[in-house]
Amino acid sequence: MGLLLTQALARIELNKKKLAKKRTFVTTYCSRFNFMVDPFEKDGGVETILVRELQAIADLEQSIIDLRRSIAKANDETMVTVGDVTKSIADWLIWKREVVASQNSFVKQLIQRVQQGRTESENKQRQASDDEKEHYQLIVHVNEKGLHDRAEQLESILGDLDAELSIKNATVTVDYGEGGDEGTNENPA
For 40-87, write each residue's pLDDT tens digit: 999 999 999 999 999 999 999 999 999 999 999 999 999 999 999 999
Mean pLDDT of 35-41: 95
The pTM of the whole model exceeds 0.85: no
Share of the chain above pLDDT 70, in %: 93
* Side-chain-facing half-sphere of 165: CA atoms under 13 Å: 16
CA-to-CA distance for 58 and 64, rounded, in angstroms? 10
Amino acid identity of residue 98, one-letter, is E
53-59, long-range: CB < 8 A, 24+ apart: 53/22, 53/25, 53/26, 53/185, 53/187, 54/26, 56/22, 56/182, 56/183, 56/185, 57/19, 57/22, 57/23, 57/26, 57/183, 59/180, 59/182, 59/183
Three-state SS at 86: strand
Q: For the chain, list the strands marked E by DSSP.
A: 2-4, 79-82, 85-88, 173-175
CA-to-CA distance for 90 and 98, rounded, in angstroms? 12
Share of the chain above pLDDT 90, in %: 87
Banded pLDDT at 106 (limits 50, 70, 90)? very high
CA-to-CA distance for 54 and 66, rounded, in angstroms? 18
pLDDT on residue 177 = 74
Mean pLDDT of 125-142: 91
Three-state SS at 80: strand
From the CB of residue 84, how many other CB atoms can be counted at a distance below 10 Å? 5
Three-state SS at 179: coil
